[in-house]
Chain A
Amino acid sequence: MATVKDRAQAKAGSGLNDDIGEEKRLAMYRTQVVIREAEQRAFDLFLQNLVKGTSHLSLGQEAVAAGFAGAMKKGDLSFCTYRGHAHTLARGVSVEKVLGELMQRDNGLMRGKGGSMHLTSVDHGVMGSYAIIGAHLPIACGAAWRAQYKGAKDVSVCFFGDGTTNIGAFHEALNFAAVWKLPVIFVCENNLYMEYTPIADVTAVEHPAADRAAAYGLERIVIDGNDADVVYRTAQAAYDKARAGGGPSLIECMTYRHSGHSRADPAKYRPEGELDRWKQRDPVKIYKERLLQFGVSEKTIAGIDAEVRKMVDDATEACKAAPVPPVDIMTTDVYADGGWAWRN
């Protein structure tokens, strides 16, 4: 049986082939621009003290979200971490809903009850953003188990950072998924840092996810996570494998976050020049060049950029004008009866 890597490469062929097609490429470009603009706006609004609490941005990591979302089918499920804005937006959740939640307004995705780290939109297949490292890997296994049990064809994908590979739940979930042959894809976004510490300083192997794949009988897959086409092809192969009953995949995407770990982190621990080098491989820049190579006009690209910027501007204004959540939702939805009563 061809491996995920073989299939991704077979689809890629050589050079500037067009296995992906213009429509898909334009969609993946737009997704990356939406994430870039919305995340940058979140940062600006934080500086104005309008984004509250914490926020973990995916600036620089847009291609992973766009590539995977591009390969998903309706009904596929996403499980994200606290760095989950990108994956939520990539499934089509509106910028206004996301920014509204970050600004803790009543128009937010969860009306301000969850906050930046817990973006959830079940209607879009975004089954939650989890802020306890590693917790969602077993949860994604459970959703995949349901698909397997019901004979449904949906696949669950679970995104996490390089730091997650060192927590016990990672090991439990990978083994569990492999033993039960579950239709789940584990995606490690290796951005080189676990919070403030280089991942290499705290990990026994060079590739924290891929170098451990053999322990679960899985293929070793490391890809360029800044090239949405590469991500898309690899994702498609993994989805095909999962839907065919071939079990889980573990994919390590090499990428880099342009900002700090969270809003509190200026990222001063990075060596001189590292950020500049990675900015040469900025996923949005790479993809713009890709579109031009495939004959998409500057005008079309500029049109997408302008449309997205206006959408983000409009969303920002809508959020600024939105009220804070009403006090009465404070006690709703603790229990399934809609309330919070724990006694009679």
Chain B
Amino acid sequence: MAELTYRDAVIRGIAQEMERDPDVVFLGEDVAKAGGVFKATVGLFEMFGPLRVRDTPISEQAILGAAMGAAMTGLKPIAEIMFSDFIAVCFDYIANEFPKSRYMSNGQVKCPLVVRTGNGAGSRFGAQHSQSVENWCMMIPGLKVVAPSNPTDVIGLLAASVRDPDPVIFFEHKSLYATKGEVPDGEIVDKLGTAKIVRPGKDATILALALMVPRALEAAEKLKAEHGIDCEVVDVRSLVPLDTQTILGSLAKTHRLFTVEENPRLCGWGAEIVSIAVDEGFYDHDGPPVRITTPHIPLPAADNLEDIVLPTPARIAETIRRSLNS
């Protein structure tokens, strides 16, 4: 075991896969010589050289298009889109090209690639560099969508994504890069489509993703200490494939469901999960499922404002307490 930051886990995860398979290549803006604007790719250029770790122009369409062409013809590219907000300028590849080529060609074309991207708020960057856009990708048939919350999951899920034969959009949370965790030694390979119960409990289920996982855990401890409410926290980890069995299983145990979502309200990932949980677990609910989200607004830059629009441990705890008491 070693203590590692989430940022260093990204480096270790990429390095682990590049060492394993010479067909894994990596491209993006400032990722090679500069080591990435978030310093999450430092040292890879030195380790694997200029043919495998390549700086690109500011050309997001070229980055994703080139990754796709390489993937179709035998490589396993990892492409970085610096901020997930920039997915909007290359959305054609994510919405129309990666996920449809296999289907439209009746299985002839493959597209095994990973798009890594810095997602989420907390850096006071304002509305165009802070969004949580995993739901933009979740809605597209043919994609897989992953968002790890801790260093060990970063390595294991990144490895699983690189080894996966489908296109995977891998959301790293910018506000988690500096966080630390104990990480096992040696190769780590996880499995996509598996949620994880990170805190067992019996009174309510809290579903969370990425930065919202530590916040949900903090809220759960607060509820336990102050109100004796024992929450089960489920780290969803992978939106597609979605581990509905773990989610429904937890609901069947606690009988109350809460989602904690960083995305703005409308069409957030929790809406789909709540719909499934109502449809398939209707008689397991002792009260209405509740979604705790960022309000439906662009994100403000000012620190005091950004702090209160995201779900905080205090808001999560208070919402759950009131809902259970009503």
What residue in chain B is nearest A150 (Cβ atoms)? B74
Contacts of A130 in B (CB 8 A): 97
Contact bitstring B49-74, A, C-beta under 8 A = 1, else 0: 00110101101011111111111111
Contacting residue for A344 out of B61, B63, B72, B245, CB 8 A: B245
**B59 contacts A122, C-beta separation under 8 Å:** no
- For residue A98, CB closer than 8 A to chain B, the reply is no
- How close is B139's CB to chain A, nearest CB, in angstroms? 11
- For residue B105, CB closer than 8 A to chain A, the reply is yes
User: Could you give 12 example pairs across A and B, Cβ below 8 Å?
Assistant: A109-B106, A110-B108, A114-B104, A132-B96, A138-B62, A142-B70, A168-B61, A176-B66, A333-B107, A335-B142, A337-B165, A344-B244
- Answer whether A334 and B103 are a contact pair too, CB < 8 Å, given A135-B97, A344-B244: yes
Contact bitstring A118-146, B, C-beta under 8 A = 1, else 0: 10111100011010101111111111111
**A172 contacts B105, C-beta separation under 8 Å:** no
Contacts of A168 in B (CB 8 A): 61
**A336 contacts B109, C-beta separation under 8 Å:** no
Contacts of A77 in B (CB 8 A): 73
What residue in chain A is nearest B248 (Cβ atoms)? A344
Contacting residue for A139 out of B51, B69, B241, CB 8 A: B69
- How close is A92's CB to chain B, nearest CB, in angstroms? 16
**A172 contacts B69, C-beta separation under 8 Å:** no
What residue in chain A is nearest B58 (Cβ atoms)? A172
Contacts of B57 in A (CB 8 A): 172, 175-176, 179
Contacts of B276 in A (CB 8 A): 343
- For residue B135, CB closer than 8 A to chain A, the reply is no
Contacts of B63 in A (CB 8 A): 138
Q: Compute how far the CA of A341 lies from the CA of B242 in the bound complex, rounded to whole angstroms.
A: 9
Contact bitstring A39-68, B, C-beta under 8 A = 1, else 0: 000000000000000000000000000000
Contacting residue for B66 out of A121, A132, A142, A333, CB 8 A: A142
Contacts of B93 in A (CB 8 A): 135, 138
Contacting residue for A334 out of B66, B72, B142, B242, CB 8 A: B142
Q: Compute how far the CA of A322 lies from the CA of B159 in the bound complex, rounded to whole angstroms.
A: 45
Contact bitstring B203-246, A, C-beta under 8 A = 1, else 0: 00000000000000000000000000000000000001111110
- For residue A261, CB closer than 8 A to chain B, the reply is no
**A141 contacts B61, C-beta separation under 8 Å:** no
Range for the number of chain B residues in contact with chain A: 35 or more
A-B contacts besides A110-B106, A139-B68, 5 pairs, CB < 8 Å: A127-B72, A145-B66, A149-B75, A176-B62, A335-B166
- For residue B39, CB closer than 8 A to chain A, the reply is no
Contacting residue for A342 out of B62, B71, B73, B242, CB 8 A: B242
Q: Compute how far the CA of A228 lies from the CA of B9 in the bound complex, rounded to whole angstroms.
A: 56
What residue in chain B is nearest A118 (Cβ atoms)? B104
- For residue A104, CB closer than 8 A to chain B, the reply is no
- For residue A340, CB closer than 8 A to chain B, the reply is yes
- For residue B92, CB closer than 8 A to chain A, the reply is yes
What residue in chain B is nearest A108 (Cβ atoms)? B106
**B141 contacts A114, C-beta separation under 8 Å:** no
- For residue B175, CB closer than 8 A to chain A, the reply is no
- For residue B101, CB closer than 8 A to chain A, the reply is yes
Contacts of A173 in B (CB 8 A): 61-62, 65
**B104 contacts A343, C-beta separation under 8 Å:** no
A-B residue pair count with CB separations less than 8 angstroms: 167
Q: Compute how far the CA of A332 lies from the CA of B107 in the bound complex, rounded to whole angstroms.
A: 8
**B108 contacts A142, C-beta separation under 8 Å:** no
- Answer whether A135 and B166 are a contact pair too, CB < 8 Å, given A142-B70, A150-B74, A176-B56: no
- Answer whether A135 and B92 are a contact pair too, CB < 8 Å, given A142-B70, A176-B66: yes
B binding-site residues for A, Cβ under 8 Å: 25, 51-52, 54, 56-57, 59, 61-75, 77, 92-93, 96-97, 101-110, 112, 141-142, 144, 164-166, 193, 240-245, 276
- How close is B99's CB to chain A, nearest CB, in angstroms? 8
Would you list the 3 A-B pairs with minimal beta carbon distance, nearest first?
A: A138-B65, A142-B69, A336-B165
- For residue A326, CB closer than 8 A to chain B, the reply is no
Contacting residue for B74 out of A113, A140, A146, CB 8 A: A146
Contacts of A180 in B (CB 8 A): 54
Range for the number of chain A residues in contact with chain B: 35 or more
Which of B54, B61, B101, B243 counts the most A-chain CB atoms under 10 A from its CB? B61
**A111 contacts B106, C-beta separation under 8 Å:** yes
What residue in chain B is nearest A130 (Cβ atoms)? B97
- For residue A21, CB closer than 8 A to chain B, the reply is no
Q: Compute how far the CA of A338 lies from the CA of B73 in the bound complex, rounded to whole angstroms.
A: 19
- For residue A194, CB closer than 8 A to chain B, the reply is no
Contacts of A127 in B (CB 8 A): 69, 72-73, 109
- How close is A240's CB to chain B, nearest CB, in angstroms? 21
Contacts of B51 in A (CB 8 A): 149
Q: Compute how far the CA of A214 lies from the CA of B102 in the bound complex, rounded to whole angstroms.
A: 36
Contacts of A141 in B (CB 8 A): 62, 65-66, 69
Contacts of A111 in B (CB 8 A): 106
- How close is B282's CB to chain A, nearest CB, in angstroms? 17
- How close is A185's CB to chain B, nearest CB, in angstroms? 14
Q: Compute how far the CA of A204 lies from the CA of B259 in the bound complex, rounded to whole angstroms.
A: 53
Q: Compute how far the CA of A179 lies from the CA of B50 in the bound complex, rounded to whole angstroms.
A: 14
Contacts of A329 in B (CB 8 A): 106
**B69 contacts A144, C-beta separation under 8 Å:** yes
- How close is A291's CB to chain B, nearest CB, in angstroms? 35
What residue in chain A is nearest B142 (Cβ atoms)? A334
Contacting residue for B105 out of A110, A136, A335, CB 8 A: A110
